[in-house]
Amino acid sequence: MKNTTVILSENIPLTENVYKAVLTGHNAGVIVPGRFVNIKIDGFFLRRPLSVCDSDENSVTVIYKVVGEGTKAFSELKVGKKLDVLSDLGNGYDTKMSGEKPLLVGGGVGTPPMYMLAKRLIAEKKKPTVILGFNTKKEIFFEEEFLKTGAKVVIATADGSAGVRGFVTDAIKDLDYSYVYACGPEPMLKAVYHASKTSGQFSFEERMGCGFGACMGCSCKTITGYKRICKDGPVLYKEEILW
């Protein structure tokens, strides 16, 4: 965990309610795909945990959806704003287990961590396929960015307005893959859990208090006992999930 002051150097809308923000500051970067940052926003007691989409040594890119007063306030912040951020939180994804043809599955704003993961896997000479799931065509974001990584990209929309009609599990059916990585709302994760034919790693979204394991507010039960999503997760292995 790193506590650092960053500058909001970009904060732009990608779709109607989804924004891309870039946080720049010394030693702000995140090395492991799947980790997150916890941002303090003026006027709110709890920080807002956001998954990392991309990162280099001194910057972090996050993509977030406006779902409440906190994220609404964040979306209204101007470029140049200084922010107090806890960075490099969580365990992240382990790429050593991916095999040659990993499958990456992201649903809605669960798709951003898949971007950094795809880049890492391709750097390791793997051949990932990425499934991005949305409700409708107008909600799609970052498709071009994923294509530029060199990954194979499959879009699924619930209303059939783009790509495969249906959910991400409908796009999985005929694919050949060696391992699964997933991030998204819990109903989607549960569906992927049951539909996937290999082992995998699943990143959970959870309400958090501290973000680093002190308050126990985001604990969940696994086959080995209770784990804290913020510290022992957010990534859990398929074999330890109780579903």
pLDDT digits (tens, 9 = 90+) for 177-199: 999 999 999 999 999 999 999 99
CA distance 136 to 173: 20
- Per-residue pLDDT at 136: 97
Q: Yes or no: say if 59 and 29 are a contact pair by the CB < 8 Å rule.
A: yes
Q: Rounded mean pLDDT of 64-69?
A: 94
Residue 118 burial (10 A CB sphere; 0-12, 13-18, 19+) = buried
How many Cβ atoms from other residues are within 10 Å of residue 86's Cβ?
Answer: 20
Nearest one of 71, 83, 86, 84 to 9, comparing CA atoms: 83
User: Judging by DSSP bridges, how do beta strands 102-107 and 82-89 pair with one another?
Assistant: unpaired
What's the pLDDT tens digit per position in 15-40? 999 999 999 998 778 889 999 999 99
pTM of the model: 0.93
The reported pLDDT for the residue numbered 240 is 94
Say which residue, 42 or 28, is predicted with more confidence: 42
